[in-house]
């Protein structure tokens, strides 16, 4: 099975840049898109259908902001949008699919903001999501969390760690929440397979960052143990353009 995650930074603009040509050719089983910045009626859903997918969209109430969409070939047993908490759900950040062997979360984690004013909101989101995961795990579920985590976990996960220590995305209190997930039954699938590999999934549009590979790894797959045992590879498609993020794919039995 192939699950691909991609922050498209505006699905309408990304569609015009041809991202669905790649989506159709790559033909993943599930494609989790974040930061779609559109309502369903503003999205060319025919192009999604033409790629061979069903879809679920969870848009933010605020126009042109946030939002996630999940494209899928195999019908889930259940689909749930949101966390059940209004202050998060009105920003359209979560879609959950229940399959027989696992539960898949497509998540667009909050950004802490340049002035750090949204960091408390972001950390509370991490907290509430983990509480839900702990409940599901206690009920015997295996979980895959994927999407834009908006946090680089370790120094190896961004090009310039020292100069970003006081910036959102690499604050100690943000990174600590990744630790908490790993302490509560999750594995960073890519890092388990490639403990020393430097690869990024996001690059600023400024300063030729992508051309010079000055990036951050902030798009993750965190998975529970039985899922980790089935994983064959995690691939960063760094040559695929159309967004300031690249697609990342999880390959498993």
Q: Is the dihedral of CA 74, 244, 64, 15 positive or negative?
A: negative
Under 8 Å between Cβ of 251 and 221: no
Q: Exposed, middle or buried by CB within 10 Å (0-12, 13-18, 19+), for 138?
A: exposed
In angstroms and rounded to an integer, the radius of gyration of the C-alpha atoms of the chain is: 17
C-alpha angle with apex 152: 6 to 56, nearest 5 degrees? 25
> Could you confirm whether 244 is annotated as catalytic?
no
Which residue of the set 89, 148, 179, 233 is catalytic? 148
Q: How far is Cα 170 from Cα 183, in angstroms, rounded to an integer? A: 19
Of the candidates 82, 27, 29, 87, the one whose C-alpha atom is nearest the C-alpha of residue 59 is: 82
The dihedral sign for the CA sequence 233, 239, 240, 241: positive
User: What residues act catalytically?
Assistant: 148
């Amino acid at each position: 099975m192939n699950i691909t995650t991609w922050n498209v930074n505006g699905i309408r603009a990304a569609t015009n840049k041809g991202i669905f040509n790649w989506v159709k050719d790559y033909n993943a089983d599930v494609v989790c898109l974040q930061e779609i910045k559109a309502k369903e009626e503003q999205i060319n859903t025919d192009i999604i259908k033409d790629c061979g997918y069903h879809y679920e969209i969870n848009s933010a109430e605020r126009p042109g902001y946030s939002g996630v969409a999940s494209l899928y070939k195999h019908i889930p047993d259940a689909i749930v949008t949101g966390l059940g908490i209004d202050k998060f759900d009105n920003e359209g950040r979560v879609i959950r699919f229940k399959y027989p062997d696992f539960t898949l979360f497509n998540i667009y984690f909050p950004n802490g903001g340049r002035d750090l004013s949204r960091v408390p909101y972001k950390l509370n989101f991490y907290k509430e999501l983990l509480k839900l995961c702990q409940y599901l795990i206690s009920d015997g579920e295996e979980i895959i969390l994927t999407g834009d985590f908006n946090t680089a976990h370790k120094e190896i996960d961004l090009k310039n760690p020292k100069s970003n220590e006081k910036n959102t995305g690499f604050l100690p209190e943000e990174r600590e929440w990744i630790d908490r997930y790993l302490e509560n039954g999750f594995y960073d699938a890519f890092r388990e397979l490639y403990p020393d590999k430097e690869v990024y999934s996001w690059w600023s549009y400024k300063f030729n960052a992508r051309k010079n590979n000055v990036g951050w790894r902030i798009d993750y797959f965190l998975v529970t143990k039985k899922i980790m045992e089935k994983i064959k590879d995690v691939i960063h498609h760094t040559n695929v353009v159309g967004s300031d993020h690249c697609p990342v794919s999880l390959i498993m039995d």
